[in-house]
Structure 1
Amino acid sequence: MAAGGGITRAIRIPGRHGYAVEFSPYIPSRLACAASQNYGISGCGTLIVLEQNDAGLVIIKSFDWTDALYDVTWSEVSENILVTSSGDGSLQLWDTSKPQGPLQIFKEHTQEVYTVDWSQTRGEQLLVSGSWDHTAKLWDPSVAKALCTFTGHENIIYSTIWSPHIPGCFASASGDQTLRIWDVKSPVSKIVIPAHQAEVLTCDWCKYDQNLLVTGAVDCSLRGWDLRAVRQPVFDLHDHTYAIRRVKFSPFHASILASCSYDFTVRLWDFSKPSVLLDKIEHHTEFTCGLDFSILLPGQVADCSWDETVKIYSPSCLSLPPS
């Protein structure tokens, strides 16, 4: 079943396999993709800035890096600034208004950096990164050195995501099967949740409830967690047939989320309804790794895949009135 209710815009990027995609928080028509040669195993990476118009998707800027790029996040203070994370253990800060390489490189992780996120809470200009070296690190983009290193995970950190509600608070998901909640004032996690009996590859915060998070794992399930009572998940969603690579809560509907998977699909869910699965989108022919909701255009979704394509679409199930 393909996405209904809106035009699908797509672009093929030959020789680049997509790992992450994120809409600009400033310009509704713009998004960025972090992609890599050779499925991220060898070769270089490319940051691709895309613009959507009536004709489809077009590349307006691209920047190569010497190693695979795994994640990308937009600055919350400038429409031209992005940060990417790389297989060589570094983060790169780019200014898309300038043609040269990165403005700044942050390199303290000792292994692949799989995740990076820019804080969205007011008054903060902070980055958090997570690595295969089992650590998360806190960065001020104006300072060359990490402000803090967070230890405790016993395996690869696949996802680090800032709370959109609580300043200085972020979540991390790891191959050690846990979801952890951190306060930047302490290097030790304040909540440890044994979320799945499998590697946890992704997590996200609900935009409408500061206590609600979701995790996605190699066991093909999505689980919701209320931080006030973490013994049992508040929802447990099953329909994917391979590992869930990324999950995102809707910015416009309190109980809707989307997930993408190594089963090539994107699925949309409403955990408040008896029939939780809203849509299954089958428009890729390889692992689907990147996923995002637009915060400026209600109902618009972007994804990217190892099949060398980026797609933007508006599933009909998202045409509901916003929460």
Structure 2
Amino acid sequence: MYSFRTTGFNGYAVQYSPFFDSRLACAASANFGLVGNGRLYVLGLTPDGIVAEKWFDTQDGLFDCAWSENHENQIVVATGDGSVKLFDISLSDYPIQSWREHSREVFSANWNLVDKSTFCTSSWDGLIKIWSPVRPTSLSTLQPPGGQLSCTYAASYSPYNATMLASCSSDSFLRLWDPRAGGMPTNSVYAHNGAEILSLDWNKYRPEVLATSSVDRTIKIWDLRFLGNNSSSSASPVNELLGHEYAIRKIAWSPHAPELIMSASYDMTARVWIDSTALKQPSTTFSSGRQPARRPNAGLRSLWDKHTEFVVGCDWSLWGAEGWVCTVGWDEMVWVWDVRSAVVQ
């Protein structure tokens, strides 16, 4: 395992580079993001540990970051002042592009994995915006019903469809979008019974499967084939993972195995779970083959408890051995660790 301290800045997000196996980006904020500056770290994994290759300071806190899928040196960040900034780590200390169309904090940024020429952001103003790095204004805006009455905590492109997005909000709705269909969602699910949904992620192997996590301390697995037609209240998850003691701030499916999903929580732990609905053909050497029921910690595979404050960001390495992950928290710590070293017996 490796560690790095973001001294003076509380971590909010961390992501592996899609181009280099030894490079991470970390978005952080002073004073827990309540007031003060932000800092984007570019971290390198070396035989002697993690080193800061470069960093960029911003006038407001940073809540998320996303590497470009087109350009190995570019990173987009979501800021607390409502702006979206694009940095090139090979250039000066200033962003190469900056947009300011959101009216409140930008809470998530996600790059399109299919056509790779666009990215999306979501904000506490309720809006989802789609951007091109080479355009001075957003390409389109998606507004959930209720508009600014709810915060859109996260929006994410499907890894299979260049125009399909999913979003999750404080109004407890999971929504699907296709900008070509206009400004309204193509489907929606009242997913967590009134609890705010903080994070979502698409399964990298099953196009119809995604997961959501909430302040209700649950991770729910959804199969899009069973959601119905733009109706929602009757839809049920195909699986539910229980065990965190506080809200689950971030989830991320493994890029190596369809059954593994990682979570980061305000209970100061990061956990890796086995989704039993994908175990017809277990695909990793460290999957146990257990069939988890809906009871606390059923399906729990690994637990990381080295953080001493809220764990708010996590990501899987795309490279090398399939168990390496990174986590970041409000304790000013970035940890890089192997889930196989923290297996729950």
Normalising by structure 1, we get a TM-score of 0.94
Checking the alignment, whether the CA contact within 8 Å between 2:304 and 2:342 is kept in structure 1 is no
Segments of 5+ residues of structure 2 without an aligned counterpart are: 228-234, 277-289, 293-298
Partner residue of 1:226 out of 223, 227, 230: 223
* 1:100 Cα deviation after fit: 2.4
Q: Distance between the aligned counterparts of 2:342 and 2:134, measured in 1?
A: 38
**Cα distance in structure 2, aligned partners of 1:11 and 1:295:** 20
Aligned 1:226-305 pairs, distance under 5 A: 226-230=223-227, 231-272=235-276, 273-275=290-292, 276-297=299-320, 298-305=322-329
Q: Which whole-Å CA distance do the structure 2 matches of 1:17 and 1:187 have between them? A: 35
**Offset, 1:99:** 2.1
User: Judging changes above 3 Å, is the alpha-carbon distance between structure 1 residues 153 and 131 closer, same or farther for their aligned structure 2 residues?
Assistant: farther
Q: What is the CA-CA distance between 1:274 and the residue it aligns to?
A: 2.0
Aligned to 1:108: 101
Specify which of 22, 25, 31 is matched with residue 24 of structure 2.
31
Give CA-to-partner distance per residue, 1:262-301, whole Å, 9 cap, x none.
0000010001132411011101000001100011232110
The yes-or-no answer on 1:140 pairing with 2:157 is no
Query: Partner residue of 1:16?
Result: 9
1:184 is displaced (CA, Å) by 2.0
CA contact (8 A) 2:117 2:132 kept: yes
102-111 or 184-193: bigger deviation: 184-193
**Residue identity in the other structure for 2:70:** V
Counterpart position of 2:283: none
In structure 2, the CA distance between the partners of 1:210 and 1:249, relative to structure 1 (3 Å rule), is same
In structure 2, distance between residues paired with 1:153 and 1:63: 36
Structure 2 contact 217–246 (Cα < 8 Å) conserved:
yes
Is 2:207 aligned against 1:210?
yes
In structure 2, C-alpha distance between the alignment counterparts of 1:124 and 1:309, rounded to whole Å: 30
Q: Is the 8 A contact 1:134 1:153 kept in 2?
A: no
Q: Distance in 1 between matches of 2:143 and 2:41?
A: 32
Deviation larger for 275-284 or 44-53: 275-284
In structure 1, how many angstroms separate the alpha carbons of the residues matched to 2:52 and 2:145?
38
> Is the aligned partner of 1:42 residue 2:35?
yes
Q: 1:161 & 1:235 partners in 2: Cα distance?
A: 21
For residues 189 and 300 of structure 1, what CA distance do their matches in structure 2 show?
A: 35
Q: Equivalent residues in 2 for 1:46-195 (5 A)?
A: 46-121=39-114, 123-154=115-146, 155-185=150-180, 186-195=182-191
Please list the CA deviations of residues 28-48 of structure 1 after superposition, one character each: whole Å capped at 9, or x if unmatched.
000000000000000000000
Whether 1:315 and 2:315 are equivalent positions in the alignment is no
Contact residue 92 and residue 106 of structure 1 kept, 8 A: yes
Give the Cα separation in 2 of the matches to 1:152 and 1:158. 12
Q: How far does residue 153 in structure 1 lie from its aligned partner after superposition?
A: 4.7
Q: Tell me the secondary structure at the aligned position of residue 63 of structure 2.
A: strand
Return the offset for 1:152: 1.4
* Matched residue type, 2:26: C
Aligned to 1:5: none
Count of aligned pairs between the two proteins: 311
Give the drift of 1:247: 0.3
Q: Answer 1 or 2: higher relative contact order, Cα 8 Å, separation at least 6.
A: 1
Residue 13 (structure 1) shift: 1.5
Q: Is the 8 A contact 1:19 1:69 kept in 2?
A: yes
Q: Is the 8 A contact 2:130 2:139 kept in 1?
A: yes
Q: Which consecutive residues of structure 1, in runs of 5 or more, have no partner in the other structure?
A: 1-7
After superposition, give the CA deviation of every residue in 1:61-103 in whole Å (9 maximum; x if it has no partner). 0000000100000001111000000010010000000122100
Q: Residue 201 in 1 paired to residue 215 in 2?
A: no
For residues 135 and 294 of structure 1, the distance between their equivalents in structure 2, rounded to whole angstroms, comes to 30
Number of the residue aligned with 2:286: none
Runs of 4+ in 1 over 2 A off after TM superposition: none
> 2 CA distance for matches of 1:195 and 1:294?
29
Q: CA deviation at 1:144?
A: 1.0
Match of 1:306 in 2: 330
